[in-house]
Amino acid sequence: MDTAVNAEARVRTWHGVLHKVLVANDIRLVTYVPDNVLKPLLADIHGDPFFDAFCVTREEEGLGIISGAWMGGKRGVLLMQTSGFATLPNVLASLCTAFQIPALMIVSERGTLGEFNYGQALVLKTMRPVLDSLALEHHTCTRLDELEFIADRTIKQAVATQAPAALILSPLLTGGKVLKP
C-alpha cells in the first residue's frame, strides 16, 4: 500500500517517478508486453491497487485495448521495448492518429549504448523515423531530474491535443540491459 514514506522513496528512482506521474494523471489501465528493463516499474504498478495492469500478447493488442478504454472514459498506457514499438505503425496511423486517440506509450530503449543484439540495434533505427513520419510527440528521457517534468507534460499534451505520444526511456536513465559475462 501507498504510504507517505513509500511515496517519498519512490521519487528517487526512475520507476518511482513514472509511477507517481501515472497516478497524478489518473492513468489506471496499464497494458504491457514484458521487458527486463521495465521490471521494476511493472512491479511497482502491480503492487499498487490504483492500477489495473495486465500483460497482453502483442503490442498492437495493447494499443487497441487502451484506445477502447480511452473512448470509454478510462485512461491507459502501453509499456513495451523498442522491438515491440516496431510492430505498431499501422495501428498508430490507422487507429490512434486517424481517430485522434491520445494513446500513451512508454518504450524502454534497446539497441543503443551497449546493445549486444544486432537485430535490436537495427530495429531501434526505425523507431524515431516512424514517430517523426506520423508527426507524433516523443521525448527521450535520460535524466532523473527531468523525468517528472517531461513525463507529466507529455501526458497532459497528449490528452489536450488528442494525439498519441511516446516516452522513450534511455539506458542513461534506466541502466539498460547489458550482456552478462
Partner 1 sequence: MTNSANSAGRATRESNTRPLNRFEITKRMVAKLTQGEAVIGGIGNTNFDLWCSGQRPENFYMLGSMGLAIPIALGVALAQPSRKVIALEGDGSLLMQLGCLSTVAIRAPRNLIIIVMDNGIYQITGAQQTATAASVDLVAVARACGLAASHWAADEADFDALFDAAQERAAPSLIALRIDDQAAVGQTEREPARIRDQFMRGIGAKGNRPVTQSPSNKI
Residue 89 interacts with partner 1 (CB under 8 A): yes or no:
no
Residue 159 interacts with partner 1 (CB under 8 A): yes or no:
yes
- Angle, helices 144-161/14-24, rounded to nearest 10 degrees: 30
Write out the E strands in the chain.
Answer: 27-32, 52-55, 75-81, 104-108, 137-141, 165-169
Written as nine digits, the cell of 7 is 511515496
Residue from the set 2, 6, 74, 112 that interacts with partner 1 by CB under 8 A: 74
Residue from the set 7, 8, 9, 24 that interacts with partner 1 by CB under 8 A: 24
Name, in order, each residue with C-beta under 8 angstroms of 167's C-beta and a sequence gap of 6 or more: 104, 105, 106, 107, 138, 139, 141, 150, 151, 154
Q: Work out how close the CB of 169 gets to partner 1 at its nearest, in angstroms, rounded to a whole number.
A: 20
Residue 91 interacts with partner 1 (CB under 8 A): yes or no:
yes
Interface positions, 115-154, toward partner 1 (CB under 8 A):
152
Which residues contact partner 1 by CB under 8 A?
21, 24-26, 29, 52, 54, 56-58, 60-74, 76, 90-91, 93-95, 98-101, 152, 155-156, 159-160
